[in-house]
Structure 1
Amino acid sequence: MIILKNVTLRRGSKVLLDKTSVTLNPGEKVGLVGRNGAGKSSLFAVLNGTLHEDGGEFSIPAQWRMSQVAQDMPETSQSATDFVVEGDTSLLAAQTEVTAAEDSEDGMRMAHAYMALHDAGAHDAPARAQALILGLGFSVAELDQPVNSFSGGWRMRLQLARALMCPSDLLLLDEPTNHLDLDALVWLEAWLKHYAGTIVVISHDREFLDAVTDVTLHIDQGKLVRYGGNYSKFEDMRSEQMLLQQAAHAKQQEKAAHLQKFIDRFKAKASKAKQAQSRVKALERMEKIAPMLADAEFQFQFKEPASLPNPMLSMSGASFGYPAAPDAPAGTPPSVIVQNINRSVLAGQRIGILGANGQGKSTLVKTIAGALQATAGEIITGKGLNIGYFSQQELDVVRPEETPLEHMIRLVRDTPAATRPSAMDCREQGLRNFLGTFNFNGDMVKQKVGSMSGGEKARLVLCMIVWQRPNLLLLDEPTNHLDLATREALSVALNEFEGSVMLVSHDRALLRSVCDEFWLVSRGGMSDFDGDLDDYQVYLLDEAKRQRETAASARKAA
Structure 2
Amino acid sequence: MSLLTLKDVALSRGTPLFSNLNLSLAKGDRLGLVAANGRGKTSLLHLLAGDDGPSRGDITTARGLIIALAPQEPPAHLLPMTLHAAVAAALDPAVVDYEGWRVDVMLDDLQIDPALRLRKISELSGGWQRAMLLARAAIIEPDLLLLDEPTNHLDFGRIGILQNFINALPRSTALVTTSHDRDFLDAVTNRTLFLRADDSMDFALPYTAALQALDTHDLARGRQFDNDMRKVRALRQQAAKLKNIGINAGSDLLVVKTKQLNARAEALESRARPAHQDRSAGAIRLSNSGTHAKTLITINDTMIRTPDDRLLLRTGQIWIENGDRIALLGRNGTGKTRLVTRIRAGLAGEDAAIRGAASLRLGYSDQMLSQLDSHRTPWEAVKAGSDISDHNARAQLINAGINLDLQTGPLDALSGGQKARLAMLLLRLLQPNFYLLDEPTNHLDIEGQEALAAELLDQQAACLLVSHDRAFIRAVATRFWFISDRKLIEVDDPEPVFNVLMRTG
- Structures share fold, TM-score greater than 0.5: yes
* Cα displacement string for residues 150-177 of structure 1 (whole angstroms, at most 9, x for unaligned residues): 2455434422333344422211011111
Q: Which residue of 2 aligns with 1:402?
A: 376
Q: Which residue of 2 aligns with 1:438?
A: 400
CA distance, structure 1, for counterparts of residue 295 and residue 347 of structure 2:
21
CA distance, structure 2, for counterparts of residue 311 and residue 73 of structure 1:
49
Mapped contact 2:12–2:55 kept (Cα < 8 A): no
Q: Is residue 2:215 matched to residue 1:255?
A: no
* Cα displacement string for residues 180-207 of structure 1 (whole angstroms, at most 9, x for unaligned residues): 1222112212221222211111122222
Q: Is residue 2:342 matched to residue 1:367?
A: yes
Amino acid at match of 1:503: L
2:155 pairs with 170, 176, 181, which one?
A: 181
CA distance, structure 2, for counterparts of residue 151 and residue 190 of structure 1:
21
Amino acid at match of 2:32: G
Q: Which residue of 2 aligns with 1:67?
A: 68
Amino acid at match of 2:34: V
Q: Which residue of 2 aligns with 1:352?
A: 327
Q: Is residue 2:363 matched to residue 1:381?
A: no
Identify if the C-alpha distance between structure 1 residues 371 and 182 changes in structure 2 by more than 3 Å, giving closer, same or farther: farther
Greater Rg by CA? 1
* Cα displacement string for residues 55-114 of structure 1 (whole angstroms, at most 9, x for unaligned residues): 443222223322221432565555434433444x26x54235xxxxxxxxxxxxxxxxxx
Mapped contact 1:340–1:377 kept (Cα < 8 A): no
Identify if the C-alpha distance between structure 1 residues 274 and 124 changes in structure 2 by more than 3 Å, giving closer, same or farther: closer
Identify if the C-alpha distance between structure 1 residues 183 and 57 changes in structure 2 by more than 3 Å, giving closer, same or farther: same
Q: CA RMSD in A?
A: 3.0
Amino acid at match of 1:292: A
SS across alignment from 1:7: strand
Counterparts of 1:201-350 in structure 2 under 5 Å? 201-267=177-243, 268=247, 269-286=251-268, 287-297=270-280, 299-323=283-307, 334-339=309-314, 341-350=316-325
* Cα displacement string for residues 216-236 of structure 1 (whole angstroms, at most 9, x for unaligned residues): 112223344321211222221
CA distance, structure 1, for counterparts of residue 382 and residue 159 of structure 2:
35
Q: Which residue of 1 aligns with 2:35?
A: 34
Mapped contact 2:296–2:321 kept (Cα < 8 A): yes
CA distance, structure 1, for counterparts of residue 55 and residue 286 of structure 2:
46
Mapped contact 1:366–1:372 kept (Cα < 8 A): no
Identify if the C-alpha distance between structure 1 residues 487 and 155 changes in structure 2 by more than 3 Å, giving closer, same or farther: same
- Out of 476-485 and 275-284, give the one that drifted further: 275-284
Task: Provide the aligned length of Structure 1 versus Structure 2.
Answer: 492
* Cα displacement string for residues 428-473 of structure 1 (whole angstroms, at most 9, x for unaligned residues): 3444454454344555543432211111111111111122122221
Identify if the C-alpha distance between structure 1 residues 271 and 82 changes in structure 2 by more than 3 Å, giving closer, same or farther: closer
1:132 pairs with 102, 110, 116, which one?
A: 110
Q: CA deviation at 1:299?
A: 4.7
Q: Which residue of 2 aligns with 1:103?
A: none
Identify if the C-alpha distance between structure 1 residues 143 and 14 changes in structure 2 by more than 3 Å, giving closer, same or farther: closer
Q: Which residue of 2 aligns with 1:519?
A: 481
Q: Which residue of 2 aligns with 1:83?
A: 86
SS across alignment from 1:458: helix
Q: CA deviation at 1:507?
A: 1.2
Identify if the C-alpha distance between structure 1 residues 381 and 55 changes in structure 2 by more than 3 Å, giving closer, same or farther: closer
Identify if the C-alpha distance between structure 1 residues 38 and 426 changes in structure 2 by more than 3 Å, giving closer, same or farther: closer
Q: CA deviation at 1:19?
A: 4.0
- Out of 338-347 and 452-461, give the one that drifted further: 338-347
Identify if the C-alpha distance between structure 1 residues 521 and 260 changes in structure 2 by more than 3 Å, giving closer, same or farther: same
CA distance, structure 2, for counterparts of residue 164 and residue 290 of structure 1:
42
CA distance, structure 1, for counterparts of residue 286 and residue 482 of structure 2:
27
Mapped contact 1:7–1:19 kept (Cα < 8 A): yes
CA distance, structure 2, for counterparts of residue 437 and residue 54 of structure 1:
30
Identify if the C-alpha distance between structure 1 residues 304 and 218 changes in structure 2 by more than 3 Å, giving closer, same or farther: closer
Q: CA deviation at 1:502?
A: 1.0
Q: CA deviation at 1:487?
A: 1.0
CA distance, structure 2, for counterparts of residue 295 and residue 37 of structure 1:
12
Amino acid at match of 1:319: M
Mapped contact 2:312–2:335 kept (Cα < 8 A): yes
Q: CA deviation at 1:242?
A: 1.6
Mapped contact 2:180–2:446 kept (Cα < 8 A): yes
CA distance, structure 1, for counterparts of residue 443 and residue 208 of structure 2:
21
Mapped contact 2:305–2:312 kept (Cα < 8 A): yes
Q: Is residue 2:153 matched to residue 1:171?
A: no
CA distance, structure 1, for counterparts of residue 328 and residue 134 of structure 2:
26
Q: CA deviation at 1:49?
A: 0.7
Q: CA deviation at 1:308?
A: 4.7
Counterparts of 1:453-532 in structure 2 under 5 Å? 453-532=415-494
CA distance, structure 1, for counterparts of residue 366 and residue 326 of structure 2:
16
Amino acid at match of 2:365: F
Q: Which residue of 2 aligns with 1:554?
A: none
Amino acid at match of 1:44: L
* Cα displacement string for residues 378-412 of structure 1 (whole angstroms, at most 9, x for unaligned residues): 22232222221110111x54148633232122223
* Cα displacement string for residues 283-309 of structure 1 (whole angstroms, at most 9, x for unaligned residues): 344352121132145554432334253
Mapped contact 1:130–1:143 kept (Cα < 8 A): no
Q: Which residue of 1 aligns with 2:501?
A: 540
Q: CA deviation at 1:276?
A: 2.4
- Out of 154-163 and 378-387, give the one that drifted further: 154-163
Identify if the C-alpha distance between structure 1 residues 353 and 140 changes in structure 2 by more than 3 Å, giving closer, same or farther: farther
Amino acid at match of 2:61: I
SS across alignment from 2:295: coil
Mapped contact 2:371–2:423 kept (Cα < 8 A): no
Q: Which residue of 1 aligns with 2:120?
A: 146
Mapped contact 1:301–1:497 kept (Cα < 8 A): no
TM-score computed with the length of structure 1 as normaliser: 0.79
Identity, % of aligned positions: 26
Identify if the C-alpha distance between structure 1 residues 74 and 478 changes in structure 2 by more than 3 Å, giving closer, same or farther: farther
Identify if the C-alpha distance between structure 1 residues 310 and 355 changes in structure 2 by more than 3 Å, giving closer, same or farther: same
Give unpaired runs (5+ residues) of structure 2: none
SS across alignment from 1:220: coil
Q: CA deviation at 1:482?
A: 0.9
Mapped contact 1:67–1:171 kept (Cα < 8 A): yes
Mapped contact 2:149–2:178 kept (Cα < 8 A): yes
Identify if the C-alpha distance between structure 1 residues 283 and 233 changes in structure 2 by more than 3 Å, giving closer, same or farther: same
SS across alignment from 2:300: strand
TM-score computed with the length of structure 2 as normaliser: 0.87
* Cα displacement string for residues 20-65 of structure 1 (whole angstroms, at most 9, x for unaligned residues): 4222221011011234443322221221111223444322222332
